[in-house]
Amino acid sequence: MKAILILICLACLPKLYSQTKEKMQYKFYLDSAHYYFEEGNYEKCIDFSTEAIHTIPDVPFAYGMRAICYSRLERHLEAIHDYTKAIEYPPQIKSSELYYSRAISEIMECDTNACLTDLNKCLDLDYKNADAFFSRARIFVAKNNIRRAMLDLSQCLSIDSTYFDAAILKADLLARDSNLREAYKFYKKASMIRPEVAYNHYQMGLIQLEENNLGPCLKHFNETIQCDTGQIKQFNMVYFMRGNVYRELGDNERSLSDFQTYNGFYPDDAIGFYATARAKIRLKKQKEALPDLNRSIELDNTDEEVYYWRGLLKFWLEMDGCSDLIKAEEMGYEDATLEIKNRSCR
């Protein structure tokens, strides 16, 4: 009997050695993949993860590693395949992070339904995942389910009160719904989380302008300019908006300066040159205003108000402005009719 047991053990040794060798190779490939992942060399990480999968194909960890690399390289269809293997291949890994990661790749492939399903599974496993609530809120926004989106954003912020993107999205949705006071609160919250972001200050300025609170409005526009310094073109519009605030406050010099700065950023926008001309007229710089009115009309010859003011300005400069006043009247500008009569243009 003892001899038989020895023979059986000897017969099993090659198989046991083979299994041990496979495990050692698998560990080497997986460790190498992890090393290159930490180095940010995702292509190499994919190569070693693939070798690990070829060595022992029924263990899901290498699939998960390779899936993350595919995601980082924006190869999302391959990432979805590997996340699915990691989730479904025995032994199954019930990880909320795997469902969340697959959902992100699915949304990058515009598969919102699959993404929503995975986010739901993720939250079933981990109801404290702020990222999943925020991502699901974005899906609900895309599906125009604003009520559900707002609930998820609130849940996200209750888990992580410093979640900047959630505060911004909630503020934007409130502003879209004309709930400006509540929107202002969340823009302010976002500005406290990341005070260096121009967008928050700009939106708060627009809300204060809408409510005719010129002092706070001016403060927020100043903060926008301090944050942005002209690097993001969309916020250069703030110079035009601030110029109008200065005009309302009677500060025509600063108003003119802002309009001229705006023209530098947007040299093909007729309204900027018109606003510049009006500022110069208020400062009694009539001769300097005429070229700006000319430029405004060159860029857009459909604004009757510009023709009206150019007509008036020409008369003030002892020039014939009748043709501009008549043009303004023909375009429907009623004030032009009285000026035409007073100046005997007909």
Residue 17 banded pLDDT, cuts 50, 70, 90: very low
Structure confidence at residue 229 (pLDDT) = 62
- Fold of the CATH domain 176-267: 1.25.40
Domain locations in the chain? 176-267
CA dist 215 and 222 (Å) reads: 11
pLDDT, residue 220, reads 96
Question: Please, what is the average pLDDT of the chain?
Answer: 89
pLDDT at 18 over 70: no
Please compute the mean of the pLDDT values over residues 98-115 and round it to a whole number: 92
pTM above 0.85, yes or no: no
pLDDT tens, position by position, 189-219: 999 999 999 999 999 999 999 999 999 999 9
Q: pLDDT tens, 176-191?
A: 999 999 999 999 999 9
**What's the pLDDT tens digit per position in 111-151?**
999 999 999 999 999 999 999 999 999 999 999 999 999 99
Three-state SS string over 97-118 comes to HHHHHHHHHHHHCCCHHHHHHH
Summarize pLDDT for 230-273 with one digit per residue, the tens.
Answer: 556 667 899 999 999 999 999 999 999 999 999 999 999 999 99
**Which residue, among 181, 145, 176, 151, has the nearest Cα to 166 in the 3D structure?**
151
The answer to whether residue 44 scores a pLDDT higher than 90 is yes
Mind listing the pLDDT tens digit for each residue in 69-80? Answer: 999 999 999 999
